[in-house]
Amino acid sequence: MPSLKVLSKKEDLLSSGHRLCPGCGASIIVRQALLASEKPVVVACATGCLEVATTIYPFTAWKTPFIHNAFENAASTLSGVEAAYCSLKKQGKIDKEINFIAFGGDGGTYDIGIQALSGAMERGHNFLYICYDNEAYMNTGIQRSSASPRGAATTTSPVGKAAPEGKQEYRKDLTQIMVAHNSPYVAQASPGYYNDLMKKVEKALSIEGPTFIDVLSPCPRGWRYDASRTIEIAKLAVLTGFWPLYEVENGKYRITYKPKKKRKPFKEWLKSQGRFKHLLKEENKEIVEQLEKRTMEKEKALYALAGEEFL
Amino acid sequence: MGRIVGLTGDETAAEVMRQINPDVLAAYPITPQTETVQRFSEFVADGKVSTEMVRVESEQSAMSACIGAAAAGARAMTATSANGLALMWEIVYIAASCRLPIAMVVVNRALSGPINIHCDHSDSMGARDSGWIQIYSENCQEIYDNLIQAVRIGENREVLLPVMVTFDGFIISHCTERLELLEDKKVRDFVGEYKNSYPLLNVDNPITYGPLDLFDYYFEHKRQQIEAMEKVPQVIQRVGEEFEKLSGRTYSLMEEYKTEDADFILVAAGSTAGTVKTAIEELREEGIKAGLLKIRVFRPFPVAKICQVLKKAKAVAVLDRSASFGAQGGPIFLEVRSALFGEERKLPVINYIYGLGGRDISIEQIKGVYRNLQKIADTGKVKKLVDCIGLRE
Ligand SMILES: Cc1ncc(C[n+]2csc(CCOP(=O)(O)OP(=O)(O)O)c2C)c(N)n1
Ligand code: SF4
Ligand SMILES: [Mg+2]
């Protein structure tokens, strides 16, 4: 990967002036990802915060070809784009080398778009799908998705007398579902570790076939924290074991960042965001213990898959 | 003179798609469309086309992939029926609003529920306000001719709209008919190459497709879609004339069959038009001046032309192979009656819903409709404005 000095001179393909909230993780992720591509990029995007805030007609923040079709079909739309590219290339009508990247929120990826994504992965299109995962339907007002973690308060899993923990179900592990698709490259990343994220994008783009990266995307609005703390929170997710950074290349697991000495107690993750505030009450103690246990078990299992010792 | 062959409707669609050789075809199986895509898959497997075929996991994805492909700068096609079209719904509208001239074969089949695999027009009629041009075919020759023309019509620079070419499930899709094929080269020259002025793949001129378009511009963009539709009839006419030079077969917005001197005219779309023609022959022998106006282009609806033909009749009956629940009649009836409202002379127009879920319609039943029109003309009374044919009472 080029040095920061070199990267800072590269043109941002997502220009400023878009209308994402201050501190939104999505724009940071997109800029890091696009910087990592050496070839020109064609982007497809699902409906969601990223799309609605960057393409308000007659403006667009995208300095690279961009297509938004609907909420659930970024993967199938990009399948069509990529198929067109293959066809035109085969016929000698285009010779440029192009990278194809889809961006979808967790709702557009884990839930309504999972069929289109699964289909595209199985068909083997040559593109990278990046889920910017803010763990809820933010664009429509912070409703729960299958990526919302257990214990998060959202507008459709609010905290109440009969529901003291907020969302009662554990989140879906889409990264593992993508691994099960035999994709040549699947990874989890966080914008708090730009180096790691960009390396993963670079690698994914260099590999032929359908690749997938799930990037945790802190959302000050929905997670209830101050906009200045996005990167801090993006790091905390990794340091508390909530969002391990790893990659699976041709089935082989590798932990790409090991917190070791820097590891923080899981409770700090909960304390950092208003969406978990209720969990800190005495009556939810047991739930917190369960969450903590499960987080550690999942991380341990991951380390085992990578053949690494869990410290 | 072209080559004479015997093909089913589905085989015809596949054959003409082979000749058109689209850059991308994305499709999902559904009866009675399946044979079209199966046969096309063989052409791909045998290297007879340069098409990239995307075997999507749903029709929703089929239409999504077509949009991606057409935006990228490729000629994209798909084929579906009934529930498949229903599953694409949201994306069907988006294709039109993106002004992407995708060509879609719709093998007409009754929409669920209850589930049924046979022909009626509820699927394509339901999509009549989606912004697609709709061309209905009576037989295999028309499927062939319509699909070739559809490519040119949709891709016309003044139009840039997607086109649906429909034909009746099983009745035509699975029935072998005689038709004349043009040489491959002639078809390829006629359709030419698809040229998207703003292809997504032109990385030197980045374009944003599908932006958020709120109250300050959405309306203007819809207005542009309306205006594009208004230009379609002329383009269809011109393409039809050009196609006639190539094939010797004449096409316009609709087909008139013995309407010139007709007292009683039936309006119908699809394969039933053929049955109506036979009924007309028999009635004419009895001295009844019967005629047919066959709807070829339903969207845009050729109001002026239709009035011109119908206004001389004594009475008109519209045959609808779909219902519009809660409306005053079937979709074609509503259009025809509304078109005639501007005429000075008030002309009796009645509606028959028929053939839902694939129920047959016979020559005798059609003759019965003409006889009813005769009665209406004689008595000046319409007993029932909207009725059903062949319904078990
Ligand atoms: C078919 C369909 N259903 C629902 C919606 C409404 N909708 C638009 S964006 C959105 C939520 C997006 O959530 P996510 O994918 O997580 O992206 P985020 O907004 O969080 O970035 C929803 C529910 C829609 N546009 N289309
Ligand atoms: S609501 Fe959250 S995801 Fe949406 S723009 Fe604001 S910070 Fe970004
Ligand atoms: Mg989200």
Q: Is the pLDDT of residue A235 over 90?
A: yes
Q: How far is the CA of A31 from the centre of ligand 2 (A)?
A: 15
pLDDT range class, residue B94, cuts 50, 70, 90: very high
Ligand 2 near A191 CB (within 6 A): no
Residue nearest to atom 4 of ligand 2 (CA): A49
Q: Are A193 and A232 in contact (CB under 8 A)?
A: no
Q: Give the distance from residue A178's alpha carbon to the nearest chain B alpha carbon, in angstroms.
A: 16
Instruction: Based on the fold, state whether residues B128 and B265 are members of the same structural domain.
Output: no
Instruction: Based on the fold, state whether residues B328 and B215 are members of the same structural domain.
Output: no
Write the residue in B24, B91, B213 that is nearest to A83 by C-beta. Answer: B24
Instruction: Based on the fold, state whether residues B331 and B281 are members of the same structural domain.
Output: yes
Protein residues within 5 Å, CB atom, of ion ligand 3 = A 105-106, 134, 138
For residues A107-117, give the mean pLDDT.
98
**B226-234: long-range contacts at Cβ-Cβ below 8 A with a sequence spacing of 24 or more?**
B228/B99, B228/B158, B228/B159, B228/B160, B228/B161, B229/B131, B229/B133, B229/B161, B229/B299, B229/B300, B230/B300, B231/B158, B231/B159, B232/B133, B232/B153, B232/B159, B232/B161, B232/B297, B232/B300, B233/B297, B233/B300, B233/B302, B233/B305
Q: Which of residues B185, B219, B247 is at a domain's end?
A: B247
CA-CA distance, B130 to B132, in Å (whole number)? 6
CA-CA distance, B166 to B150, in Å (whole number)? 11
Q: Which of residues B192, B213, B247 is at a domain's end?
A: B247
Determine which of B55, B57, B219 to mutate to test the interface with A (most A C-beta atoms within 10 Å).
B57
Tell me, what CATH number does B324's domain have? 3.40.50.920
Instruction: Based on the fold, state whether residues B279 and B156 are members of the same structural domain.
Output: no
Find the residue in B nearest to A64 (Cα).
Answer: B206
Instruction: Based on the fold, state whether residues B218 and B301 are members of the same structural domain.
Output: no
Q: How far is the CA of A38 from the centre of ligand 3 (A)?
A: 28
Instruction: Based on the fold, state whether residues B258 and B233 are members of the same structural domain.
Output: no
pLDDT range class, residue B2, cuts 50, 70, 90: confident
Q: Which two tokens stand for residue B136?
A: 């209905």
Tell me, what CATH number does B13's domain have? 3.40.50.970
Instruction: Based on the fold, state whether residues B98 and B20 are members of the same structural domain.
Output: yes
pLDDT digits (tens, 9 = 90+) for B276-325: 999 999 999 999 999 999 999 999 999 999 999 999 999 999 999 999 99
Q: Please, how many CA atoms are within 13 Å of residue A106, restricted to the half-sphere of its CB? A: 27
Instruction: Based on the fold, state whether residues B33 and B106 are members of the same structural domain.
Output: yes
CA distances from A265 to A76, A150, A181, A283, A311 (A): 41, 18, 33, 20, 13
pLDDT digits (tens, 9 = 90+) for A124-180: 999 999 999 999 999 999 999 999 999 999 999 999 999 999 999 999 999 999 999
CA-CA distance, A155 to A205, in Å (whole number)? 37
B133-136 and B3-7 as β-strands: parallel, antiparallel, unpaired? unpaired
For residue B120, the enclosing domain spans: 3-247
Q: How far is the CA of A6 from the centre of ligand 2 (A)?
A: 29
Find the residue in B nearest to A41 (Cα).
Answer: B203
pLDDT digits (tens, 9 = 90+) for B141-171: 999 999 999 999 999 999 999 999 999 999 9
Instruction: Based on the fold, state whether residues B16 and B74 are members of the same structural domain.
Output: yes
Instruction: Based on the fold, state whether residues B92 and B225 are members of the same structural domain.
Output: yes
CATH class of A4-305: alpha beta
Where do the structural domains in chain A lie, given as residue ranges? 4-305
For residues A81-90, give the mean pLDDT.
98
Instruction: Based on the fold, state whether residues B84 and B208 are members of the same structural domain.
Output: yes
- Look at chain B and report how many structural domains it folds into: 2
Q: Count Cβ–Cβ pairs < 8 Å, chain A vs chain B.
A: 170
Q: How far is the CA of B72 from the centre of ligand 1 (A)?
A: 24
Chain B residues whose CB is inside 8 A of the A77 CB are 64-65, 67-68
User: Is A69 within 8 Å of B68 when comparing Cβ atoms?
Assistant: yes
pLDDT digits (tens, 9 = 90+) for B4-42: 999 999 999 999 999 999 999 999 999 999 999 999 999
pLDDT digits (tens, 9 = 90+) for A217-232: 999 999 999 999 999 9
Q: Which two tokens stand for residue B6?
A: 């015997």
pTM of the model: 0.98
Q: Which of residues B247, B272, B297 is at a domain's end?
A: B247
Question: B145 lies in a domain?
Answer: yes
Q: Is the pLDDT of residue B332 over 90?
A: yes
Ligand 2 near A104 CB (within 6 A): no
CA-CA distance, A226 to A272, in Å (whole number)? 10
Annotate A72-126 with three-state secondary structure: CCHHHHHHHHHHHHHHHHHCCCCCCCCEEEEEEEHHHHHHCCHHHHHHHHHHCCC
* Chain B residues within 8 Å of chain A (Cβ atoms): 23-24, 26, 50-52, 54-58, 60-62, 64-74, 76, 90-91, 94, 200-203, 206-214, 216-217
Chain A residues whose CB is inside 8 A of the B54 CB are 79-80, 83, 123
Provide the residue type at B357 as one letter: G
Q: Give the distance from residue A135's alpha carbon to the nearest chain B alpha carbon, in angstroms.
A: 23
Q: Are A104 and A116 in contact (CB under 8 A)?
A: no
Question: B393 lies in a domain?
Answer: no
Find the residue in A nearest to B76 (Cα).
Answer: A84
Residues with CB under 6 A from ligand 1: A 46-50, 71-72, 105-108, 134, 137-140, 145
Chain B residues whose CB is inside 8 A of the A120 CB are 61
Question: B147 lies in a domain?
Answer: yes
Ligand having the closest approach to the CA of A275: 2
Q: How far is the CA of A207 from the centre of ligand 1 (A)?
A: 30
CB-based burial label for B185 (10 Å; 0-12, 13-18, 19+): exposed
Contacts of A87 (CB under 8 A, 6+ apart): B23, B24, B50, B51, B52, B69, B74
Q: Are B12 and B37 in contact (CB under 8 A)?
A: no
Q: Is the pLDDT of residue B367 over 90?
A: yes
Using the Cβ of A70 and the Cβ atoms of chain B, whether some distance falls under 8 Å is answered with yes
Tell me, what's the pLDDT at A260? 85
Beta strand residue intervals within chain A, DSSP E: 41-45, 66-68, 99-105, 128-133, 185-189, 211-216, 246-249, 252-255
The Cα angle at residue B379 between residues B376 and B382, in degrees rounded to 5: 45
User: Is A84 within 8 Å of B201 when comparing Cβ atoms?
Assistant: yes
Residue nearest to atom 8 of ligand 2 (CA): A24
Q: Is the pLDDT of residue B1 over 70?
A: no
Tell me, what's the pLDDT at A311? 76
Q: Is the pLDDT of residue B189 over 70?
A: yes
Q: Is the pLDDT of residue A103 over 70?
A: yes
Q: Is the pLDDT of residue A25 over 70?
A: yes
CA-CA distance, A266 to A291, in Å (whole number)? 9
* Percent of chain A surpassing pLDDT 90: 96
Annotate chain B with three-state secondary structure: CCEEEEECHHHHHHHHHHHHCCCEEECCCCCCCHHHHHHHHHHHHCCCCCCEEECCCCHHHHHHHHHHHHHHCCCEEEEECHHHHHHHHHHHHHHHHCCCCCEEEEEECCCCCCCCCCCCCHHHHHCCCCCCEEEECCCHHHHHHHHHHHHHHHHCCCCCCCEEEEEECCCCCCCCEEEEECCHHHHHHHHCCCCCCCCCCCCCCCCEECCECCCCCHHHHHHHHHHHHHHHHHHHHHHHHHHHHHHCCCCCCEEEECCCCCCEEEEEECCHHHHHHHHHHHHHHCCCCEEEEEECEEECCCHHHHHHHHCCCCEEEEEECCCCCCCCCCHHHHHHHHHHCCCCCCCCEEEEECCHHHCCCCHHHHHHHHHHHHHHHHHCCCCCCEEECCCCC
Q: Are B161 and B132 in contact (CB under 8 A)?
A: yes
Q: Is the pLDDT of residue A82 over 90?
A: yes
Q: Give the distance from residue A74's alpha carbon to the nearest chain B alpha carbon, in angstroms.
A: 8
A231: enclosing H helix or E strand: helix A230-239
User: Is A98 within 8 Å of B203 when comparing Cβ atoms?
Assistant: yes
Q: Average pLDDT of chain A?
A: 97
Instruction: Based on the fold, state whether residues B71 and B167 are members of the same structural domain.
Output: yes
Q: Average pLDDT of chain B?
A: 98
Write the residue in A60, A115, A119 that is nearest to B208 by C-beta. Answer: A60
Residue B103 β-bridge partners: B77, B163
